[in-house]
């Protein structure tokens, strides 16, 4: 297993954790994790990369070892602003190769359209956006958020990391015991006498009161100038469960000027856990074939 190292930097008033692998001076890869995940989750892909890279992965605000925001909710634009500030620290002068999974992939795709000059190559792992919201849903969504603010949000606790690892395997039967144990070490944190809880701010569990407007995401995607690769599971269970139709998905993919898609069999949403060797090979082929 390739060892990682940690550093902490000040990002927009928060103590941000950056996990890094590889040699300083090697080509940089900026990798962004998804919701209820952490930077260490990319360890399996890093181990499978063949070329020499300097991989930098932040824990998003309120996840892993990054400080919690202290607010009532986590706002999506903050992820873009955090990423922009992180890039000013780790690559102030050069466009980056940006890789993201799920939430991180959506942030990467949107950021690449908002700041096209900052992204040289873009890779998204099962990051398809969300279904469009309806205006009529807004009052109920806002009411649900207000009701959630009245209660203390908490995460379930587990007696120990072995039980958490077993839960991870129950949620994803493709996880090997070794990978589940590794993830449990990083996804869980002690919660006093209660055992182990997920390493994140429980405020992430609250519904976001701001509706998702897919047309706005597509407008950003149309501005992306970087060569773009989407890696997706062959069976898009999560996308369809979240209501993103095949037609809406095709419309989204058509937004990108230089677009490539690769489907991965025998994988769920967490491609970086289920098929890390194959995903690493796909990523590296794309990076090296688009090398300046």
One-letter-per-residue 3-state SS of the chain: CCCCEEEEEEECCEEEEEEEECCCCCCEEEEECCCCCCHHHHHHHHHHCCCCCEEEEECCCCECCCCCCCCCCCCHHHHHHHHHHHHHHHCCCCCEEEEEECHHHHHHHHHHHHCHHHEEEEEEECCCCCCCCCHHHHHHHHHHHHHHHCCCCCCCEECCHHHHHHHHHHHCCCCCHHHHHHHHHHHEEECHHHCEEECECHHHHCCCCCCCCHHHHHHHHCCCCCCEEEEEECCCHHHHHCCCCHHHHHHHHCCCCCEEEEEECCCCCCHHHHCHHHHHHHHHHHHHHCCC
Each residue's pLDDT, cut to its tens digit, for the chain (292 residues) gives 999 999 999 999 999 999 999 999 999 999 999 999 999 999 999 999 999 999 999 999 999 999 999 888 899 999 999 999 999 999 999 999 999 999 999 999 999 999 999 999 999 999 999 999 999 999 999 999 999 999 877 888 999 999 999 999 999 999 999 999 999 999 999 988 889 999 999 999 999 898 899 999 999 999 999 999 999 999 999 999 999 999 999 999 999 999 999 999 999 999 999 999 999 999 999 999 998 6
Q: What are the structural domains, with CATH classification, of the chain?
A: 5-153+213-289 (3.40.50.1820), 156-199 (no CATH)
């Amino acid at each position: 297993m390739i060892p990682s190292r940690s550093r902490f930097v000040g990002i927009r008033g928060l103590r941000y954790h950056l996990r890094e692998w590889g040699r300083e001076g090697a080509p940089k890869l900026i990798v962004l994790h998804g919701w209820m995940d952490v930077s260490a989750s990319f360890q399996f892909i890093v181990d499978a990369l063949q070329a020499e890279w300097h991989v930098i992965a932040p824990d998003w605000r309120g996840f892993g070892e990054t400080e919690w925001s202290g607010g009532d909710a986590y706002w999506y634009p903050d992820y873009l602003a955090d990423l922009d500030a992180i890039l000013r620290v780790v690559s102030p002068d050069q466009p980056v190769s940006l890789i993201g999974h799920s939430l991180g992939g959506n942030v990467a795709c949107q950021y690449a359209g908002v700041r096209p000059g900052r992204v040289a190559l873009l890779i998204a792992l099962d990051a398809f956006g969300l279904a469009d919201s309806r205006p009529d849903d807004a009052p109920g969504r806002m009411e649900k958020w207000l009701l959630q603010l009245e209660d203390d949000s908490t995460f379930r606790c587990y007696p120990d990391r072995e039980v958490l690892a077993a839960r991870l395997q129950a949620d994803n039967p493709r996880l090997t015991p070794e990978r589940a144990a590794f993830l449990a070490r990083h996804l869980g944190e002690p919660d006093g006498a209660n055992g182990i809880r997920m390493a994140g701010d429980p405020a992430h569990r609250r519904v976001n009161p701001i509706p998702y407007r897919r047309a706005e995401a597509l407008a950003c995607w149309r501005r992306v100038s970087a060569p773009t690769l989407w890696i997706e599971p062959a069976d898009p269970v999560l996308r369809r469960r979240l209501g993103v139709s095949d037609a809406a998905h095709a419309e989204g993919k058509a937004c990108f000027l230089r677009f490539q898609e690769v489907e991965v069999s025998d994988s769920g949403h967490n491609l970086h856990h289920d098929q890390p060797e194959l995903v690493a090979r796909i990523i590296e082929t794309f990076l090296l074939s688009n090398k300046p």
